[in-house]
Amino acid sequence: MGQIWKCNGDDKRTMPRWLWEKDLSILSNEEEMAKVLLAWKKAENRKEIILPLVQNLEGAVLGADVIKRENYWTTGDYPFSRLEEIKPEQFTLMQDKRIKTIIEVTKKLKEKPLILEAEAPFSILAALIDPMKLYLAMQTEPEKLEKILKKIVLEEAEYIKAVIQAGCRIISLAEPTATMDMVGEKCFKECSGMATFMLLKEIEKFLSNSVVHLCGKLSGSMIAVHMAKEEEDFVTGETYLENLIEVTKNPEIHFVGQRCIHQKKNESGKIHVMRLNLIQTKST
């Protein structure tokens, strides 16, 4: 079963040096964060504001360190070496000051086009423990892995719900660690893809005025294992951002995919609508 969508690496953004050099305490300072997000948007002549400032903020909140790479902020060393060390009942996103700051910044800037970049549950966990160990755990400790992922799903759903209620209309969900081409059909269907499916089901009820963009590799993987089906819908905007804003006004569209959210033009006049369509959860 093949995957039809190929990632072209369209994300060319780099954090400007003046922002990169700021202290990480900005992540808990809503006034300062709002200012730099607006300044970054203006410097790049973008219409949209993209938050948070850290790739995989969820993983950082659950225990990973935030580090500064050459052009961006992300998570660093893994805080856990074995699944047994992880206590999912202790996981909470909503009590963290950095998450509260994202919500408050969203309220301040909600009149602008906002995009929340969120991570799929498996990739959040992969910020906490070496993904190679997680790949092995798919085969050897699936029950333990499932328990941890279920808790992450619930926490992530509450986070996304709160950001939507604060005024964000576009959620970009990525799975850089465990799409079907990386873990295989069986493991995607039963583990990493299933966790994403559960997350989407949890948040779907809150999406009447918002839309979730699934990265092309993730949406292609879900289609390939029959977790979702694809439909085409006509749109009128010249840019992909305009198309996403347009579909937020259609309460029947909750998920879109099969494209990269960083693309600029959309010359086809169509958008790929995703419908959750789980037919089979376990391989026989």
In the chain, pLDDT over 90 holds for what percent of residues?
85
The predicted-structure confidence for 143-189, as pLDDT tens digits, reads as follows: 999 999 999 999 999 999 999 999 999 999 999 999 999 999 999 99
In a domain, 99, yes or no: yes
Local confidence band at 268 (pLDDT 50, 70, 90 cut-offs): confident
Does residue 13 register a pLDDT over 80? no
Give residue 10's pLDDT.
55
Cβ–Cβ under 8 Å, residues 181 and 3 = yes
The predicted-structure confidence for 82-92, as pLDDT tens digits, reads as follows: 999 999 999 99
Give residue 277's pLDDT.
86
Beta-carbon contacts of 272 under 8 Å, excluding residues fewer than 6 positions away, are 219, 230, 231, 232, 256, 257, 258, 259
Domain extent, residue 110, equals 32-276
Mean pLDDT in residue range 103-123: 97
In a domain, 7, yes or no: no
Give residue 282's pLDDT.
45
The predicted-structure confidence for 190-241, as pLDDT tens digits, reads as follows: 999 999 999 999 999 999 999 999 999 999 999 999 999 999 999 998 899 9
Mean pLDDT in residue range 17-45: 96
In a domain, 247, yes or no: yes
In a domain, 23, yes or no: no
In a domain, 185, yes or no: yes
Write the secondary structure of 160-229 as one string of H (helix), E (strand) and C (coil): HHHHHHHCCCEEEEECCCCCHHHHCHHHHHHHHHHHHHHHHHHHHHHCCCCEEEEEHHHHHHHHHCCCEE
**Predicted TM-score (pTM) of this structure:** 0.93
Structurally, the chain folds into a number of domains equal to 1
In a domain, 16, yes or no: no
- DSSP label at 127? T
Q: What is the rounded distance in angstroms from the CA atom of residue 271 to the CA atom of residue 245?
A: 12
Mean pLDDT in residue range 96-125: 97
Give residue 1's pLDDT.
41
What CATH number is given to the structural domain containing 163?
A: 3.20.20.210
Give residue 80's pLDDT.
97
Give residue 278's pLDDT.
67
In a domain, 179, yes or no: yes
Q: What is the rounded distance in angstroms from the CA atom of residue 59 to the CA atom of residue 117?
A: 13
Mean pLDDT in residue range 16-25: 95
The predicted-structure confidence for 135-148, as pLDDT tens digits, reads as follows: 999 999 999 999 99
In a domain, 26, yes or no: no
Local confidence band at 6 (pLDDT 50, 70, 90 cut-offs): low
Q: What is the rounded distance in angstroms from the CA atom of residue 222 to the CA atom of residue 277?
A: 9
Does residue 3 register a pLDDT over 70? no
In the chain, pLDDT over 70 holds for what percent of residues?
93
